[in-house]
Amino acid sequence: MLPLVYHPGYSPPFPVKHRFVMRKFELLMRWVSENGYVGQNNVFTPTSAKYEDLIQVHHKDYLGALAAGPRFNPDWKAVGLPWSRALIDRTFISPNGTYLATKLAMQYGVACHLAGGTHHAFADRASGFCMLNDLAFAAVKLVNEGKKVLIIDLDVHQGDGTAAILASVPEAVVCSVHCVDNFPFEKQHSDYDIELPAGDGDEHYLAVLETVLANVLFDVDPDVVIYDAGVDVYQGDRLGKLNLSLAGIMKRDCMVLEACQALQIPVSTVIGGGYDHDHFALAARHGIIVQAAHSIFVK
Ligand SMILES: [Zn+2]
């Protein structure tokens, strides 16, 4: 079985022409369903994250300001998204979705969260469409349960918020492979940072990744992996600067999942970034990770 984690509130009403495609979660769920990945009992619905867990990774005043609404300007500008209560509600659910997917992965080998990857959120501030850091949230919760966690972040942008939050958590290790010439322009230090030049394509990217995966999985020897499968590495992405093809993204995702499977390390996935005027094509692109997980773990 391939567990999927999704909440019907993930795509709240939102300006259609905005650079951030809020519809993509709902469209991805539709794509996943239409392509036969939804069965009788493999979709799991997360609840809102608890304050007592959120406070482990985010500052109290910041959480209060987020919950209070748009009055916490000027910080709202850093989010880059128009405020709505429904947006805040889904923001507080998604971190628990990544945690739930990771718990399911520990049970079933793999699980896909059809959202998540808000890796620019810092402990005390929003950045780049990200308010709460689901990766750090899930990792810290698992570390508190005695697990060693490896985050493999292959979104085209560096997960600066994740790196900063987890810098003081040695049992949560962050490996980021990203484009050096892209947002965020002030990079943080992850445990492993692999910087690729703009324009890098399938061949070099996949060769680098193969080496990185072998080294990092061996060095860290984690109990569980959380994989950010951002598709903004795609050659046609509006905000990415790498040059991966769709086949290249499929190979990338399979490489990560197969490496985890070979070492019997449970792996959960989040969808991360992806930007396109064609919302349906974008949803299908985010579907690649589900397709890859199904082909490797379910067949
Ligand atoms: Zn990104």
Question: Where residue 82 sits, what CATH number does that domain have?
Answer: 3.40.800.20
Instruction: Confirm if 118 and 78 have CB atoms less than 8 A apart.
Output: no
Structure tokens at 26: 């709902």
Can you tell me the distance from the alpha carbon of 299 to that of 297, in angstroms, rounded to the nearest whole number? 6
Q: Any residues with CB less than 8 A from the CB of 8 and at least 6 apart, and which?
A: 45
Instruction: Confirm if 298 and 290 have CB atoms less than 8 A apart.
Output: no
pLDDT at 103: 98
Among 110, 157, 164, smallest CA distance to 291 is for 110
Instruction: Confirm if 138 and 5 have CB atoms less than 8 A apart.
Output: no
Can you tell me the distance from the alpha carbon of 76 to that of 95, in angstroms, rounded to the nearest whole number? 19
Cα 273 to middle of ligand 1, angstroms:
4
Structure tokens at 86: 């429904």
Can you tell me the distance from the alpha carbon of 41 to that of 38, in angstroms, rounded to the nearest whole number? 8
Instruction: Per residue of the chain (299 residues), give pLDDT as tens.
Output: 999 999 999 999 999 889 899 999 999 999 999 999 999 999 999 999 999 999 999 999 999 888 887 765 556 777 888 888 999 999 999 999 999 999 999 999 999 999 999 999 999 999 999 999 999 999 999 999 999 999 999 999 999 999 999 999 999 999 999 999 999 999 999 999 999 999 999 999 999 999 999 999 999 999 999 999 999 999 999 999 999 999 999 999 999 999 999 999 999 999 999 999 999 999 999 999 999 999 999 97
Cα 19 to middle of ligand 1, angstroms:
12
Count CB atoms within 10 A of the CB of residue 262: 9
Structure tokens at 163: 């790196």
Cα 265 to middle of ligand 1, angstroms:
25
Cα 230 to middle of ligand 1, angstroms:
6
| 72-77: long-range pairs with CB below 8 Å, 24+ | 75/125, 75/126, 76/126
Cα 130 to middle of ligand 1, angstroms:
10
- Sheet containing 224-228: which strands, arranged edge to edge? 43-44, 4-5, 110-113, 267-270, 224-228, 149-153, 172-179, 192-196
Residues of the domain holding 124: 4-297
Cα 41 to middle of ligand 1, angstroms:
31
| CA-based max dimension of the chain | 50
Instruction: Confirm if 139 and 166 have CB atoms less than 8 A apart.
Output: yes
Is there a cis peptide before residue 170, judged by omega within 30 degrees of 0? no
Cα 22 to middle of ligand 1, angstroms:
14
Q: What are phi and psi of 164, to 5 degrees?
A: -70, -45
Count CB atoms within 10 A of the CB of residue 145: 11
pLDDT at 229: 98
Buried b (16+ CB within 10 A) or exposed e, 37-72: bbeeebbbebebbeeebbeebbeeebbebbeeeeeb
Task: Please state the pTM of the whole predicted model.
Answer: 0.97
Instruction: Confirm if 98 and 226 have CB atoms less than 8 A apart.
Output: yes
| Amino acid at the residue 227 | Y
| Strand ranges inside the chain, DSSP E | 4-5, 43-44, 110-113, 149-153, 172-179, 192-196, 224-228, 267-270
Cα 114 to middle of ligand 1, angstroms:
15
**In total, how many domains does the chain have?**
1
Among 15, 9, 6, smallest CA distance to 86 is for 9
